[in-house]
Amino acid sequence: MSDVITLAHGAGGKQTAELIDSVFKAHFANPEFTGDDAAILSLGGQDLAFTTDGFIVSPSDFPGGNIGKLSICGTVNDLSCMGAQPLYLACAFVIEEGLPMSDLERYAAAMEKTAAEAGVRIVAGDTKVAGKGQVDRLFITTTGIGRRLPGVRLSGTEAKPGDAVIVTGDIGRHGCTVLLSREQFGIDADVTSDCAPLWGTVKSMLGVTQDIHVIRDATRGGVGTVLYEIAAQSHVGIRLDRAAIPVAPAVSGVCGMLGLEPLYLACEGRLVVFAPQAQADAIVTALRQGPYSGNAAIIGTVTAEHAERVTIRTEIGAETILPPPGGELLPRIC
């Protein structure tokens, strides 16, 4: 491993996993520290989900959202992916000296609105200020507590051969939006972030059936990284159908121009779901009625062979391996 921290360590892919294994898991190992989106804690006869996420997105305002909205969605969605109703949030701010008060006000207003939509209360906070040039504008760390619904048991280790792989909407919009918001690219396209709080989306699926194996939000690293993670955690193969993967035309266009794979662009309002084939159509039907999952689709299946690998059938029918997640695509996406 590298002897200094690199941007790749923060990209959510292979190097991030190596850093977590070699430093954090080595020191913090305990039964509750898992590879899932949130820890499950048994407290007073109930299962609580507990998760934390730092948000350092640059720029802090982007079409479809800002760092405030994102900081609520990211944590609400991590709890939701465990089948846990988000209840309480704590938010810690590190702010650069000189940040306009009106910017902070705008982010707080976005947090308030998004928390209200998600039905979650911000109950604790912290504010630190660093000097000019010691932090870039502001970082927000949001930690959440949720209550897992009885009978629900979702984990990245639970994918089974035969499962359908579902995405809850068109992919890659957040990553594409943030990329275009950075001046250096100079591309003009009509793309907004998919950033959204998804507890309602998860609840609608669990209302159809509790027979769902995995739900994970495809944030940093995108759908492709999530699929490789789950293939590894569950020791299964995953076969995708390229034609079935929903991608907005503008995102497709940008990916074509820049040679990017939309499966590796971050989403902030999309879930990857593994469920038995027998349940898949009913789940997709329910999803398509929701506000953030109108173009949900089955994009592949889980296989016993090719364990820990993701393959993809191209539009012309060829079967290839999806290149595993590599180094840094785009720093500070979330």
Residues 106-165 that bind its own copies (CB under 8 A): 108-109, 111-112, 115, 121-131, 133-136, 139, 141, 143, 145, 147
Q: How far is the CB of 180 from its own copies (least distance, A)?
A: 19
Identify which of residues 124 and 304 has a Cβ nearer to its own copies in the complex: 124
Q: Count other C-beta atoms under 10 Å from residue 30's C-beta.
A: 8
Given the structure tokens 């590796």, which residue do they identify? 264
Identify which of residues 265 and 302 has a Cβ nearer to its own copies in the complex: 265
Within 235-274, which residues bind its own copies (CB under 8 A)? none
What is the distance between the alpha carbons of residues 255 and 226, in angstroms, rounded to a whole number? 19
Out of 14, 35, 54, 303, the only residue in the binding site for its own copies (CB under 8 A) is 54
DSSP character for 20? I
**Ramachandran class of 172: left when φ > 0, alpha when ψ lies in -120 to 50, beta otherwise:** left
Q: How far is the CB of 120 from its own copies (least distance, A)?
A: 10
Written as six digits, the tokens of 204 are: 């609608």
Identify which of residues 41 and 282 has a Cβ nearer to its own copies in the complex: 41
Out of 160, 306, 313, 332, the only residue in the binding site for its own copies (CB under 8 A) is 332
- Residues that bind its own copies (rule: CB under 8 A) add up to a total of 82
What burial letters (b/e) apply to 48-81, b meaning 16+ CB within 10 Å? bbbbebebbbeebbbebbbbbbbbbbbbbbbbbb
Which residues are paired to 142 by β-bridges? 53, 91
Q: Count other C-beta atoms under 10 Å from residue 243's C-beta.
A: 11
Out of 35, 58, 149, 209, the only residue in the binding site for its own copies (CB under 8 A) is 58
Identify which of residues 102 and 317 has a Cβ nearer to its own copies in the complex: 102
What is the distance between the alpha carbons of residues 277 and 298, in angstroms, rounded to a whole number? 10
Angle value at C-alpha 59, between 54 and 63, nearest 5 degrees? 105
Q: Can residue 45 be called a binding residue for its own copies (CB under 8 A)?
A: yes
Q: How far is the CB of 44 from its own copies (least distance, A)?
A: 3
Identify which of residues 128 and 235 has a Cβ nearer to its own copies in the complex: 128
Written as six digits, the tokens of 234 are: 């569950």
Q: Can residue 81 be called a binding residue for its own copies (CB under 8 A)?
A: no
Identify which of residues 28 and 185 has a Cβ nearer to its own copies in the complex: 28
Q: Can residue 208 be called a binding residue for its own copies (CB under 8 A)?
A: no
Out of 35, 61, 76, 90, the only residue in the binding site for its own copies (CB under 8 A) is 90
